[in-house]
Amino acid sequence: MFNEGDVIDGKYLVEGICSNSGGMGTVLYVRPHLSFIPYRLVLKYCKDVEEENLKRFKREVRLLASLANNPKVVQVLDQNLEYSPPYFTMRYYTNGDLLRYVGQLPSSFAMQESVFLQMIDCVQELHSRNIFHRDIKPQNFLVDGDQIVVSDFGLTTEIGSDTAFTRTAMYWGTHGYIPPEFLNGGFKFADAAGDVFMLGKTIYVLLTQRDPLYLLSDGVSPPLFHIVEHCCALAKENRYQSLVELRLSIVTAYDIILGRSRGLIGQVRQLLLSINSRIEQGQECRVEEINRFVEQVALLNEEQQVDICREISATFFEIIYLPPVINNLFRFLESYKKLVESQNYGFSYAETIATNMSAIFFGENVPIREKIKALELAILGAHYMHRFAAMDTCSWMIRSVKDPNLGLQVATLILNLGNTFVTNIQPSECHDDSIINALYQLQRDT
């Protein structure tokens, strides 16, 4: 729409195109036509004249203007929303966006921690005002010396905004970063969970320079990959529920990576002691305490996870599946799996494992995925230690299944673990047809 040498609104002389990759906006290098400023300036204007996109652009400008003087957000220097096309100006960030730094980040843990925490703090500035970004990616964080600011508010949404998208099924965003709920009408009603998902994908890209669509752990420190997976859980209720939680996990992960964690195992034990004490005294458990315990256990190294899981009381397994801590149940079972697979316990402890897992398996309202994981761990523990009492507990769990949805998943697990004692379970003692058929198949094969 504009060429080099054009004057916009009688005030800005166009010097060239900075970026034309945005969906609805173009960014130009400009300089004041009748005055002087000591830094380079860019002007962003709305190139799409469709009414809804014009509204979206104007909302972006108003949101930016409402965050004036906030050092974590790009600053609007001038604007004219009545001009055709509407525009705003801002300082040009000569250091570019975070994609410029992907080559440096993998080799500097200290730089990673600083960048990730600043990203979170920038987005937290929005969340504290009930604003959700909805298009988080490395390109939307600009570098200003040692500081990072968040930019591109074209897809943001405010709670109660009357300029939200009118078509519920519509979704926008960047391929590979879009949370799954956006694909089914959730874009219009975005919340913190969507931004958490996109932050996880952004962290992954900055660490690996890979396509964010698929998460591979190769070359990523285990504590960091755990955080990325937690951010990017498909079900939003299984993600971090706030940026405060995510920030705490980032700090804890780098405590481990940078050798600052000598006291972390002690902190986890203290948390467990407090939880166990409350359980024994019949007091109500603190949800935030259990959630923090599960999170910090997952960030420990494997040997420490095994030690901690062995210290957990049996009663803990009767509260971990209760609302609202049940959202952390699968993550806890992933940590408990380290203990089971370590085989670093006496043969009689396999019975303890089976008993603990049966509490979860028979727990009311426990999702099928978690029930299957608990059954798998019980079977593996009994198999590794060849403990008959533990095998009996596992067989009882399998025989008791009557729900066909659960039965189908149990049958799949049985077929996958066909080299264990499960082949000896009598099909006639079971209630579910899928399980019965799986057992007959295993016995025919053997």
- What string of DSSP letters covers 372-399? HHHHHHHHHHHHHHT-HHHHHHHHHHHH
Q: What pLDDT is attached to residue 305? A: 92
Q: Are residues 131 and 83 in the same domain?
A: no
Strand segments (E) across 20-161: 25-32, 41-46, 78-80, 87-91, 131-132, 141-144, 147-150, 157-158
**Which ranges of 311-367 would DSSP assign to H, the alpha helix?**
329-342, 349-361
CA distances in angstroms from 279 to 150, 153, 286, 372, 416, listed in the order given: 44, 47, 10, 26, 36
Q: What pLDDT is attached to residue 164? A: 43
Residues of the chain with pLDDT under 70: 22-24, 154-173, 185-189, 261
Which amino acid is residue 30, in one-letter code? V
| Angle made by CA atoms 241, 328, 279, in degrees to the nearest 5 | 115
Domain holding 37, by residue range, is 7-91
The count of domains in the chain is 2
Q: What pLDDT is attached to residue 23? A: 61
Asked if the structure places residue 418 within a domain, the reply is: no
Residues 446, 413: Cα–Cα separation, whole Å: 17
Which residues have CB under 8 Å from 105's CB, separation 6+? 111, 112, 115, 206, 207
Buried residues in 160-196 as b, exposed as e (16+ CB within 10 A): eeeebbeeeeebebbeebbbebbeeebbbebbbbbbb
Residues 407, 354: Cα–Cα separation, whole Å: 19
Residues 208, 105: Cα–Cα separation, whole Å: 9
Q: Are residues 159 and 220 in the same domain?
A: yes
Which of 60, 91, 122 is the last residue in one of the domains? 91
Asked if the structure places residue 348 within a domain, the reply is: no
Q: Are residues 129 and 208 in the same domain?
A: yes
DSSP 131: E
Q: Are residues 213 and 77 in the same domain?
A: no
Nearest-10 Cα torsion for 249, 255, 256, 260:
-160
Helix or strand or coil: residue 340?
Answer: helix
Q: What pLDDT is attached to residue 163? A: 42
Which of 229, 257, 285 is the last residue in one of the domains? 257
The two three-digit tokens of residue 323, written as one number: 């609302």
Residues 312, 358: Cα–Cα separation, whole Å: 15
Q: What pLDDT is attached to residue 162? A: 43
Q: What pLDDT is attached to residue 442? A: 93
Asked if the structure places residue 73 within a domain, the reply is: yes
- pLDDT digit string, tens, across residues 126-141: 998 888 888 899 999 9
Which of 228, 257, 286 is the last residue in one of the domains? 257
Asked if the structure places residue 207 within a domain, the reply is: yes
Q: Are residues 183 and 79 in the same domain?
A: no
What CATH number is attached to the domain comprising 202? 1.10.510.10
Q: Are residues 115 and 230 in the same domain?
A: yes
Q: What pLDDT is attached to residue 159? A: 42
CB 365 within 8 A of CB 325: no
Residues 367, 360: Cα–Cα separation, whole Å: 10
Q: Are residues 28 and 109 in the same domain?
A: no
Q: What pLDDT is attached to residue 171? A: 44
Q: Are residues 59 and 187 in the same domain?
A: no
Q: Are residues 126 and 181 in the same domain?
A: yes
Q: Are residues 18 and 167 in the same domain?
A: no
- Report the interhelical angle of 222-231 vs 192-208 (nearest 10°): 150
DSSP 73: B
